[in-house]
């Protein structure tokens, strides 16, 4: 998982999402993503110009994987960074699943890093929402 272009994603299938909110601080992308794939939005796997927040916050890549855990069976990996500056809040992502479930993940560090959200879920990702908090 040292590949900065997507949490080791170079060999995963691509699930394309579409948005009209490219480069906006509040947005939503819709599509269909099954586990063990990576997101592209508007046919671009580098999301850093698409999912953005205030003060330089961005998401570069998103991976959805099956996961073998005691209380979770799926995991979403995100590489990106939160807003820069003391008290600047976070870039909040919400993942909507086809089963009606929703899972949030907040990017708070001003340095680029990997984030993950493990959960016990049954659906596929159908929408990704983003907004800046704080």
Task: Please tell me the distance from the alpha carbon of residue 63 to that of residue 8, in angstroms, as a whole number.
Answer: 9
Question: What is the total count of domains within the chain?
Answer: 1
Residue 54 lies in a domain: yes
Give the model's pLDDT for residue 2.
36
Give the model's pLDDT for residue 49.
97
Residue 117 lies in a domain: yes
Stretches where the chain sits below pLDDT 50 are 1-6
Residue 13 lies in a domain: no
Residue 16 lies in a domain: no
Residue 9 lies in a domain: no
Give the model's pLDDT for residue 3.
40
Residue 1 lies in a domain: no
pLDDT, tens digit, for every residue of 20-55?
999 999 999 999 999 999 999 999 999 999 999 999
Residue 15 lies in a domain: no
Residue 8 lies in a domain: no
Q: Which domain holds residue 65?
A: 21-133
């Amino acid at each position: 998982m040292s590949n900065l272009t997507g949490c080791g994603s170079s060999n995963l299938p691509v699930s394309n999402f579409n948005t009209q909110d490219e480069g906006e601080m509040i947005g939503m992308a819709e599509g269909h993503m099954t586990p063990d794939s990576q997101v592209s939005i508007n046919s671009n796997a580098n999301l850093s110009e698409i999912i953005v927040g205030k003060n330089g916050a961005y998401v570069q890549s998103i991976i959805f994987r099956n996961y073998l855990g005691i209380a979770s069976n799926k995991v979403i990996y995100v590489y990106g960074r939160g807003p820069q500056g003391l008290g600047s809040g976070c870039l909040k992502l919400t993942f909507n699943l086809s089963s009606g479930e929703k899972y949030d993940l907040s990017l708070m560090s001003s340095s680029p890093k990997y984030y993950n959200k493990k959960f016990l879920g049954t659906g596929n990702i159908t929408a990704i929402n983003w907004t800046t908090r704080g």
